[in-house]
Amino acid sequence: MDAPTTTNGHVSSMGLKGVWAAMANLSAVALVCVMFYQSQGEQMRLAREDRQMFRDEMRATREERTLDRQALVQIVRSVESLTEEVQALKQGKE
């Protein structure tokens, strides 16, 4: 099937002529702009969520490291205390 043409032989847009063709083109451009705007908004939202998840993960990792350090310090203190007690017992036997 051939594309619709106007009386002077030019191809019209979707069979529309004049003002209606211009409005159809404008509507198509507006739709593309709206979709682009929504896509950009979605990408910005996803990037914001990714950054927040990264911050949360870094915070959790930092808290875990702090707890690990505190546990290690407690173990070192316990070992030092036990070492002192063992040395005191050795000196008491001699």
The reported pTM is 0.53
CB 15: neighbour CB atoms within 10 A?
13
Question: pLDDT tens, position by position, for the chain (94 residues)?
Answer: 455 555 566 655 667 778 888 898 899 999 999 999 999 999 999 999 999 999 999 999 999 999 999 999 999 999 999 999 999 888 877 6
The token pair that represents 21 in the structure block: 């063709």
**CA 9-10-11 angle, 5° bins:** 120
Q: How far apart are CA 7 and CA 13, in angstroms?
A: 13
